[in-house]
């Protein structure tokens, strides 16, 4: 990691302004000894906030679902012994009441909760009049409006310190990641709400510890403000999410290998070159739109031809031919399969929309 880079993203949070903010701790609080040992070892790293899951919403009921309220006592002990701030996940109003009772410094709301506006509103109501910092993870599905809606519900009850946490999105397609990063979603959140700090959760995106540095570096290159990384004194024997956890010492090594680049370019020469390249991008984008306009005109003509001859809009064999051909061509030009597939699916859908309008005229 390069020399200290400061950020004003957490102004008013009573935190060190060094970037990135580090939130670390076990996926689940398992025992008092495990929690305290993790915290003691994390104290030697740049960690500022200790995280641990007390209640664990799991896919199936027979899995370990957390130790419950007694784990909050352990978090209180962590703060008393190490001075680390503490945070845990809350998934309903009762969780909020219990966490506040034990003096938890910050709360986070998980992806499975963010997806449900009813539950978010219940949590917001429970927090009314208590201005505690809240981390809100993205919903499991890639919906930036749903994410923003959760943020707004909390702000309406007086919560002023809110940060978004990008932990990736569920996907049915095969991927090297546990949860697809879909980086454009948090980028869009930052565009719409530049006032909000943005944290990356590489553990849940990766699902595997060998990908943590790669995802963490990507987040830093995209100007994220912090990282939330799961750590455990004995990761292989963790009671939940063993494959994505690392030891506190491995976290320290990961942070040492991060490259932190400047968020402010500063140099006039750099800005001049950057503006020149951006102008070229703008020109190429205009050409892309003109080409797509011409393509849709051809699609409209095809739609008219189908209408006159009583032919259905979707021709599955033709679509299969297109996608197969351009996956191969795209990869030969250095594009990822994911990009080519998404690009041509979007173009194909717009062509279908165009032809549908013609069919219904």
Nearest to 154 by CA among 183, 171, 184, 134: 134
Interval 250-296: pLDDT, tens: 999 999 999 998 777 666 788 788 888 888 999 999 999 999 999 99
pLDDT tens-digit readout, 54-82? 997 666 666 777 899 999 999 999 999 99
Looking at every residue in the chain, the average pLDDT score rounds to 92
Range of weakest confidence among 118-132, 140-154, 169-183, 189-203? 169-183
Number of folded domains in the chain?
Answer: 2
Q: How confident is the model at residue 144 (pLDDT cuts 50, 70, 90)?
A: very high
* Domain-located, residue 263: no
The domain of 42 spans 5-257
Does one domain contain both 239 and 353? no
CB-based contacts of 354, cutoff 8 Å, min separation 6:
296, 299, 300, 303
Judgement on whether residues 229 and 296 belong to the same structural domain of the protein: no
Tell me: do 287 and 182 sit in the same domain.
Answer: no
* Same domain for 11 and 70: yes
- From the list 250, 217, 257, the residue with the least C-alpha distance to 235 is 250
CA nearest neighbour of 15 among 135, 156, 125, 155: 135
* 17: Cβ contacts below 8 Å, ≥ 6 apart: 6, 7, 8, 10, 11
* Contact (Cβ atoms closer than 8 angstroms) between residue 16 and residue 30: no
Residue 240, CA distances (Å) to 27, 52, 66, 227, 345 in order: 7, 12, 9, 20, 37
Q: Stretch 145-163: mean pLDDT, rounded?
A: 96
pLDDT at 3 over 70: no
Measured CA to CA, the distance from residue 186 to residue 9 in angstroms comes to 16
Phi, psi of 240 (to 5 degrees): -150, 145
pLDDT band at 2 (very low <50, low <70, confident <90, very high): very low
pLDDT in tens, 304-336: 999 999 988 888 888 888 888 999 999 999 999
pLDDT per residue as tens digits for the range 193-216: 999 999 999 999 999 999 999 999
């Amino acid at each position: 990691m390069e020399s200290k880079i400061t950020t004003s993203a957490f102004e008013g949070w009573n935190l060190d302004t060094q970037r990135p903010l580090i939130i670390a701790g076990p996926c689940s609080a398992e025992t008092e000894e495990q929690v305290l040992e993790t915290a003691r070892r994390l104290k030697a790293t740049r960690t500022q906030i200790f995280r641990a899951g007390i209640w664990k919403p799991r896919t199936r009921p027979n899995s370990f679902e957390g130790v419950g309220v007694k784990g909050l006592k352990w978090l209180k002990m962590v703060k008393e012994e190490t001075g680390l701030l503490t945070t845990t996940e809350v998934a309903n109003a009762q969780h909020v009441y219990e966490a506040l009772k034990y003096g938890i410094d910050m709360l986070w709301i998980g992806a499975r909760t963010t997806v449900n506006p009813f539950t978010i509103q219940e949590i917001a109501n429970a927090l009314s009049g208590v201005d505690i910092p809240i981390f809100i993870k993205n919903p499991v599905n890639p919906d930036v409006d749903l994410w923003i809606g959760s943020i707004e519900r909390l702000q309406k009850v007086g919560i002023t310190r809110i940060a978004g946490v990008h932990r990736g999105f569920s996907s049915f397609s095969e991927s090297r990641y546990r949860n697809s990063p879909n980086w454009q979603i948090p980028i869009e959140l930052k565009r719409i709400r530049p006032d909000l700090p943005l944290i990356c959760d590489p553990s849940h995106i990766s699902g595997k510890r060998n990908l943590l540095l790669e995802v963490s570096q990507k987040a830093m290159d995209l100007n994220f403000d912090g990282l939330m990384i799961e750590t455990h004194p004995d990761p292989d024997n963790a009671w939940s999410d063993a494959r994505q956890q690392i030891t506190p010492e491995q976290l320290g090594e990961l942070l040492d290998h991060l490259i932190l680049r400047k968020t402010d370019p500063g140099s006039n020469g750099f800005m001049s070159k950057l503006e020149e390249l951006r102008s070229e991008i703008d020109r190429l984008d205009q050409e892309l739109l003109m080409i797509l306009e011409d393509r849709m005109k051809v699609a409209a003509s095809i739609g008219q031809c189908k209408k006159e001859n009583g032919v259905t809009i979707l021709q599955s064999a033709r679509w299969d031919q297109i996608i197969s051909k351009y996956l191969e061509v795209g990869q030969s030009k250095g594009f990822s399969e994911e990009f080519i597939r998404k690009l041509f699916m979007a173009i194909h859908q717009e062509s279908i929309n165009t032809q549908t309008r013609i069919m219904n005229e």
